[in-house]
Amino acid sequence: MTVTMTAADAADPPDDAGFRVVRVGTSYEEEFTAFMRDAAPALARTAWLLCGDEHLADELVQQALTRTFLSWRKARERDPLAYARRTLANLRIDHWRRRRREVLTEPTALPEGAERRSAAEHHAERDQLVRALATLSTRQRRIVVLRHLVGLTEREVARDLGVSLGTVKSTASRGLAQLRSVLGAADDGSDQGGAR
C-alpha cells in the first residue's frame, strides 16, 4: 500500500511497515532556496559586470532575489533565472538613474577571479573592461553584458529585457564596435606609453 503525503506530513510517517511514504512537492521556500543557491553566483557576476562595484553588485543581487522571492509563483512558471536577471538589470537602471554617474573602481579593489595570472595583469584587464563598459549607454551595456559576458543567446536577451530581437542585434553590434574602439585606443595608448 502507498500513502501519499505532503512535505509537512512527512515528519510523522505511519508506523506500519506495510506503508511506503511518497513525498509530494516541496514548499515554495525550499524551492526558492534551491534556486537561490544555484543562481546567486551567476547573478553576482552579471551584477558586477553591469555596475563594476563589488558592494553595489551584492546589494543588487540581494534586492533582485528578494523581489524574485516575493513574485516566486509568477517567476517559477517560466524561467526564474531570466526573471531574476531582468529584475537585476532593472534595479541597476533604477540605481543609475538615481545617481546619474558611474564610479570606477581602483584595480586593487576589484574582486579576485578564478584565473591565476599575475595580479597586476588581472586587475589591469578588469579595470580596462569596466572602463570600456562605462562608455556604453545603459541599454548597450545591458545587452552586451547579457549577450557576450553572461553568454545568453540573442533570443534570451530579447526575452529577458522585453525588447525585439532586431534591437538586441543592432544594439549589441553598436556596443561591440564602441568597445573595440575604446579598448583599441587603450591598447595603442599603453603600447605608446611603454615605448618611450
Beta-ladder partners of 3: 21
Residue 192 lies in a domain: yes
Q: Do the Cβ atoms of 110 and 127 come closer than 8 Å?
A: yes
How many domains in the chain?
1
CA distances from 107 to 58, 112, 124, 168 (A): 18, 10, 6, 31
Model confidence band, residue 166 (pLDDT cutoffs 50, 70, 90): very high
Q: Does residue 190 lie within any of the structural domains?
A: yes
Instruction: Give whichever of 10-14, 25-29, 130-134, 182-186 has the largest mean pLDDT.
Output: 130-134
pLDDT at 22: 39
CATH number of residue 140's parent domain: 1.10.10.10
Q: What is the dihedral of CA 128, 165, 40, 51, to 10 degrees?
A: 30
Q: Is 24 within a domain? A: no
pLDDT for 13: 46
Q: Which residues contact 64 (CB under 8 A, 6 or more apart)?
A: 43, 47, 84, 85, 87, 88, 91
Segment 17-27 shows an average pLDDT of 49
- Assess if residue 29 is contained within a domain: no
In a domain, 113, yes or no: no
| pLDDT tens string 38-79 | 888 989 988 888 887 788 888 889 999 988 888 888 888 888
Asked, for residue 81, whether it belongs to a domain, the answer is: no
| 53 located within any domain | no
Is residue 142 situated within a structural domain? yes
Residue 168 belongs to domain spanning:
135-196
